[in-house]
């Protein structure tokens, strides 16, 4: 079977347009009727998931997306979202059909210009029947037209779309895209994005990356906002914020555009939001010195509305922050955390959701490093206090940061024990090796994916040490590990100056 397939593919001729023609024996092309016809020996359905160990049906098999062009129209008064997404992809197998992850109502699907059959399967799968067989390596242009009320579209009883008094926020993890664009919804498939949204004039739209053009007036007293992600990103790191925003632009020390946006609904929390998010370029500059060159084309942050999200998210180039972070004044630690994710999570993304420590452990440890840098408490002091904060018999120590389980991806332990694990790795290898390992990791997997095993291998290579014991103990073993500092930690260590701010952030970060 395999040999027959290879022979058939070898006989194909790929045209410059990416379509495939063949002259099958006994079927000489008729003059004037020749038309590119893809053929394949045995096209099969693309898998409905990518086999993630926690979320096996997230993402889809059989193709790889290169670019999403998401063109939307939104009505804040009714939450009606309509639009067209054009997915540019490459087939990775011979396909008879393939899935996209999507929850809104679909009006039509075309594949390379041909009308395609489609059907809803389950809560978030859109099955597309290939109008013609698709061969491995073929370029796919999939155009999906759709409309719906995302705040009322529930998947597993839930919507990741947040409707607010003046607009909406599409920002959630791991599920976000299902409510606004069809996608291959797994971090393994990264793509670039063009995102544009038409809204009533006077409403702002903020998204990832840069603005390829100024907001454009459209008929009917409407304005279309356009955003572009130049570097590839995952589907959950794409976002849109729609509503009443003050937008502040500037240039970062590295010459990149900074775009910060502040909901006008924040009231007395507005100044604290600005005092935090306006430090983004400073934070990114410092993090670039510790983690390696900043991986993206723009910087910024979005202070979401007072009735928006209760968390913060590392949306690519421009994190989104819920209003809770400013409830006790400014908090640069959450800015440090979300921007650390630009390296750990956004550029180097998890290959499987079980590897979430590579995101949250590192972003949390970045806060401890910032505390050291600011002279507000050392990582060791923060380790001691965190360690002492959880009694040995606490359930907390039963969660494994290296494999927390699908329902505990955002557990406290992934963040705090995750940071403690990195501190133990640092102690094991020493500062010199540790601060070479971090930029080596972000360089080795830039704009790609990583696993904990790969990180351990790199850390062992750079340090020249066998680190199996520290990784196993801190990431993969239930129970409170013994540490040399335990006796000291049990005596209720004094609080570093950074402690209250870090705790205030971490009350909201894990979910
Ligand atoms: Zn985080």
Three-state SS letters, 20-38:
EECCCCCCCCCCCCCCCCC
- Tens of pLDDT along 349-408? 999 999 999 999 999 999 999 999 999 999 999 999 999 999 999 999 999 999 999 999
* DSSP output for 412-465: HHHHHHHHHHHHHHHHHH-HHHHHHHHHHHHHHTTTEEE-HHHHHHHHHHHHTS
pLDDT reported for residue 509? 87
CA of 506 to the centre of ligand 1 (A): 9
CA of 33 to the centre of ligand 1 (A): 58
Lowest mean pLDDT among 22-31, 431-440, 456-465, 501-510: 22-31
Look at phi and psi of residue 442 and say left if phi exceeds 0, alpha if psi is from -120 to 50, else beta: alpha
Prior bond of 185 cis (ω within 30°) = no
User: Can you give the length of the chain in residues?
Assistant: 511
Residues with CB under 5 A from ligand 1 (ion): 360, 363
CA of 313 to the centre of ligand 1 (A): 7
Answer whether 229's CB lies under 8 Å from 193's CB: yes
CA of 315 to the centre of ligand 1 (A): 10
Q: What is the mean pLDDT of residues 416-420?
A: 98
CA of 472 to the centre of ligand 1 (A): 22
CA of 217 to the centre of ligand 1 (A): 37
Q: Which pairing describes strands 95-101 and 125-134: parallel, antiparallel, or unpaired?
A: antiparallel
- Coil/strand/helix, residue 158: strand
* Residue 461, phi then psi, degrees to nearest 5: -65, -45
* Residue 5, phi then psi, degrees to nearest 5: -60, -45
pLDDT at 16 over 60: no
CA of 198 to the centre of ligand 1 (A): 31
* Residue 43, phi then psi, degrees to nearest 5: -65, 140
Q: Which of residues 148 and 492 earns the better pLDDT score?
A: 148
Q: Which two tokens stand for residue 208?
A: 């990832």
What sections of 233-291 are H helices per DSSP?
Answer: 270-277, 280-291
Report which of 316, 335, 345 is spatially closest to residue 206, judged by C-alpha positions: 316
Answer whether 230's CB lies under 8 Å from 251's CB: no
pLDDT at 487 over 90: no
CA of 338 to the centre of ligand 1 (A): 6
pLDDT reported for residue 95? 96
CA of 89 to the centre of ligand 1 (A): 29
Answer whether 346's CB lies under 8 Å from 296's CB: yes
CA of 507 to the centre of ligand 1 (A): 12
The rounded distance, in Å, linking the Cα atoms of 319 and 403 is 26
CA of 380 to the centre of ligand 1 (A): 21
CA of 341 to the centre of ligand 1 (A): 7
Answer whether 341's CB lies under 8 Å from 295's CB: no
For residue 464, how far is the Cα from the chain centroid? 33
CA of 302 to the centre of ligand 1 (A): 15
pLDDT tier for residue 4 given thresholds of 50, 70 and 90: very low
pLDDT reported for residue 40? 52
CA of 288 to the centre of ligand 1 (A): 18
The rounded distance, in Å, linking the Cα atoms of 302 and 288 is 21
CA of 128 to the centre of ligand 1 (A): 34
pLDDT at 313 over 70: yes
CA of 240 to the centre of ligand 1 (A): 19
CA of 496 to the centre of ligand 1 (A): 22
CA of 174 to the centre of ligand 1 (A): 12
Q: Which of residues 35 and 273 earns the better pLDDT score?
A: 273
pLDDT at 269 over 70: yes
pLDDT tier for residue 419 given thresholds of 50, 70 and 90: very high
Q: Which of residues 487 and 270 earns the better pLDDT score?
A: 270
pLDDT tier for residue 89 given thresholds of 50, 70 and 90: very high
Q: Which of residues 384 and 31 earns the better pLDDT score?
A: 384
CA of 356 to the centre of ligand 1 (A): 9
CA of 409 to the centre of ligand 1 (A): 11
Helix axes 452-463, 468-475, angle to 10 degrees: 140
Q: What is the mean pLDDT of residues 343-354?
A: 98
Q: CA dist 41 to 6, 118, 132, 150, 299, Å?
A: 9, 23, 13, 40, 48
CA of 362 to the centre of ligand 1 (A): 8
Strand partners, 106: 146
pLDDT reported for residue 264? 98
CA of 342 to the centre of ligand 1 (A): 10
Q: Which pairing describes strands 257-263 and 245-251: parallel, antiparallel, or unpaired?
A: antiparallel
CA of 330 to the centre of ligand 1 (A): 18
Report which of 456, 380, 459 is spatially closest to residue 423, judged by C-alpha positions: 380
Q: How many helices (H) and strands (E) does the chain have?
A: 12, 25
Strand partners, 108: 145
Q: CA dist 64 to 89, 153, 370, 392, 448, Å?
A: 5, 27, 38, 46, 13
Q: What is the mean pLDDT of residues 59-81?
A: 98
Q: What is the mean pLDDT of residues 429-438?
A: 98
pLDDT reported for residue 38? 52
Lowest mean pLDDT among 120-124, 278-282, 328-332, 409-413: 120-124
The rounded distance, in Å, linking the Cα atoms of 172 and 161 is 8
The rounded distance, in Å, linking the Cα atoms of 382 and 368 is 7
CA of 135 to the centre of ligand 1 (A): 40
The rounded distance, in Å, linking the Cα atoms of 164 and 242 is 9
CA of 130 to the centre of ligand 1 (A): 39
Q: Which two tokens stand for residue 119?
A: 């059907």
CA of 6 to the centre of ligand 1 (A): 45
pLDDT reported for residue 511? 62
* DSSP output for 263-275: ETT-GGGHHHHHH
pLDDT reported for residue 306? 98
When the pLDDT of each residue in the chain is averaged and rounded to a whole number, the result is 91
CA of 132 to the centre of ligand 1 (A): 43
Answer whether 36's CB lies under 8 Å from 15's CB: yes
Q: Which of residues 28 and 414 earns the better pLDDT score?
A: 414
pLDDT reported for residue 18? 34
Q: Which pairing describes strands 95-101 and 44-45: parallel, antiparallel, or unpaired?
A: parallel
- Tens of pLDDT along 99-145? 999 999 999 999 999 999 999 998 899 999 999 999 999 999 999 99
Give the Cβ contact number of residue 378 at 10 Å.
15
Share above pLDDT 90 across residues of the chain, in percent, rounded to a whole number: 88
CA of 120 to the centre of ligand 1 (A): 33
């Amino acid at each position: 079977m395999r040999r027959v397939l290879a022979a058939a593919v070898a006989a194909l001729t790929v045209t410059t347009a990416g379509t495939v023609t063949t002259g099958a024996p006994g079927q000489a092309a008729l003059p004037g009727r020749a038309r590119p016809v893809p053929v394949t020996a045995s096209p099969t359905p693309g898998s409905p998931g990518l086999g993630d160990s926690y979320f096996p049906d997230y993402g889809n098999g059989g193709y790889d997306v290169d670019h999403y062009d998401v063109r939307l129209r939104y009505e804040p008064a009714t939450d009606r979202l309509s639009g067209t997404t054009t997915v540019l992809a490459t087939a990775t197998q011979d396909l008879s059909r393939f899935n996209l992850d999507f929850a809104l109502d679909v009006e039509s699907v075309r594949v390379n210009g041909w009308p395609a059959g489609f059907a809803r399967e389950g809560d978030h799968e859109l099955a597309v029947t290939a109008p013609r067989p698709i061969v491995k390596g073929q370029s796919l242009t999939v155009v999906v037209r759709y409309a719906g009320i995302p705040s009322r579209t529930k998947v597993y009883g839930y919507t990741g779309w947040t409707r607010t008094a003046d607009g909406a926020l599409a920002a959630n993890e791991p599920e976000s895209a299902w409510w606004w664009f069809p996608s291959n919804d797994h971090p393994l498939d990264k793509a670039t994005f063009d995102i544009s949204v038409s809204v009533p004039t006077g409403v702002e739209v903020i998204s990832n990356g840069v603005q390829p053009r100024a907001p454009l007036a459209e008929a009917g007293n409407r304005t279309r906002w356009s955003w572009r992600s130049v570097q590839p990103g995952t589907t959950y790191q794409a976002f849109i914020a729609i509503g009443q925003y003050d937008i502040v632009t500037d240039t970062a020390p590295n010459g990149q555009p900074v775009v910060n946006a502040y909901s006008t609904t924040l009231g007395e929390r507005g100044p604290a939001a600005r005092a935090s998010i306006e430090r983004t370029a400073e934070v990114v500059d410092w993090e670039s010195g510790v983690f390696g060159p900043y991986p993206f084309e723009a910087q910024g942050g979005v202070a979401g509305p007072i009735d928006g999200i209760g968390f913060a998210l590392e949306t690519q180039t421009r994190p989104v922050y819920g209003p809770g972070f400013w409830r006790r004044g400014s908090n640069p630690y959450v800015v440090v955390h979300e921007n650390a994710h630009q390296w750990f999570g956004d550029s180097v993304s998890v290959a499987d959701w079980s590897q979430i420590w590579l995101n949250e452990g590192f972003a949390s440890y970045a806060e401890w490093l910032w505390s050291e840098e600011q002279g507000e408490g050392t990582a060791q002091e923060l380790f001691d206090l965190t360690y002492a904060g959880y009694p040995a018999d606490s359930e907390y120590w039963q969660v494994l940061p290296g494999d927390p389980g699908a329902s505990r991806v955002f557990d406290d332990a992934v963040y705090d024990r995750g940071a403690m694990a990195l501190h133990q790795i640092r102690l094991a290898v020493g500062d010199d090796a540790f601060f070479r390992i971090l930029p080596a990791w972000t360089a080795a997997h830039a704009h790609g994916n990583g696993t904990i095993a790969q990180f351990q291998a790199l850390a062992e290579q750079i340090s020249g040490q066998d680190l199996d014991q520290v990784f196993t103990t801190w990431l993969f073993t239930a129970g409170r590990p013994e540490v040399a500092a335990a006796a000291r930690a049990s005596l209720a260590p004094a609080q570093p100056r950074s402690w209250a701010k870090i705790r205030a952030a971490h009350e909201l970060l894990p979910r």
